[in-house]
Structure 1
Amino acid sequence: MQDINELLCDCLYFTANKLSRIMGKIAEEEFKITGISPTYAFLVTIVNKKEGASQKEIGEALHMTPSTITRFIDKLESKDLVKRKIDGKNSYIYSTEKGREVQTCIDKAWDNLYKRYSKKISCEEGNKIITELNEIIKRLEKE
């Protein structure tokens, strides 16, 4: 009979989720310096790079549902990191001064995260994994 760990580790779904949980834990620890989670930091970064990004654009970039993006924006508005402007049925998201200021801290957290996992896997190996995962994602999204 196959060992239970071997059984689980032979499953792409299980392995991908395990990696996600491990990386998520490390990222949460590194992002404590920002006062927001890594996912919120992605959203702030998107808005800082593209002022007036629509909620739809943000949702597509983060691969999240509109309701989740709305909750995230509500939370970031309450922290005064972004502001929302409504134009008809569309919402556009803009940076606040505080949101622009926190970007330096976000960038530092990303750098810390990269350095932390690079101690375990090389830059080349990390880049290879990212490339391979993105190729797999493209193929799976075509369904």
Structure 2
Amino acid sequence: MKELYLDNCLYFASNRLARQTEKLARQAYRPTGLSPTYNYILLTIDQLKQVTLHDLAVKMGIAPSTMSRLIQNLVAKDLIVKKTNWRQIELTLSKKGKENLPLVKKCYFKLDKMVSSLLTEEKKQELILLLDKQADKFI
């Protein structure tokens, strides 16, 4: 069979992986009623306890304007508290956000188990490292 351009195409391969990963993540996080990105925002704020909107955007590789819109939705759902300090916006989990964490974490571990059924832990860590390292070069 003739080799196709997409057979050796980083763009196609990485997007295909992203689409498949997104399907798994949506399935795993469905019980929360939130998209995977919102759940990772909650998990990250929980781990850091308090973070600025800008720092969170940088850590997650999301444009600050996009992060601002995502945060507005979480504030509207009363899952996070947004406090403005001069030119910085500080984020913490609300009481409701903290109460939702056990379910969010359960879904996180469910997704991890789903991925682990497809990849060994070693291959998963190699892929994460490679993707993170290469993504930084594309900025």
Same fold (TM over 0.5): yes
Percent sequence identity is: 27
Amino acid at match of 1:48: D
The TM-score with structure 2 as length reference comes to: 0.91
Match of 1:21 in 2: 19
Query: What aligned pairs does 1:9-48 form with structure 2 within 5 A after superposition?
Result: 9-48=7-46
Structure 1 residue 63: deviation in Å? Answer: 0.8
CA RMSD of aligned residues (A): 1.6
Q: List, as ranges, runs of 4+ consecutive aligned residues in structure 1 with deviation greater than 6 Å.
A: none
Match of 1:69 among 67, 71, 93: 67
Q: Deviations over 1:24-72 (max 9, x none)?
A: 0110111011121111111111211223311111110111111111111
Counterparts of 1:138 and 1:47, CA distance in 2: 22
The TM-score with structure 1 as length reference comes to: 0.88
Q: Deviations over 1:89-142 (max 9, x none)?
A: 21111111111121111111111111112212222221222222223234434x
Match of 1:93 in 2: 91
Match of 2:50 among 49, 52, 58: 52
Match of 2:120 among 115, 118, 122: 122
SS in 2 for 1:64: coil
Q: Which blocks of at least 5 consecutive residues in structure 2 are unaligned?
A: none
Counterparts of 1:21 and 1:112, CA distance in 2: 18
Structure 1 residue 14: deviation in Å? Answer: 1.0
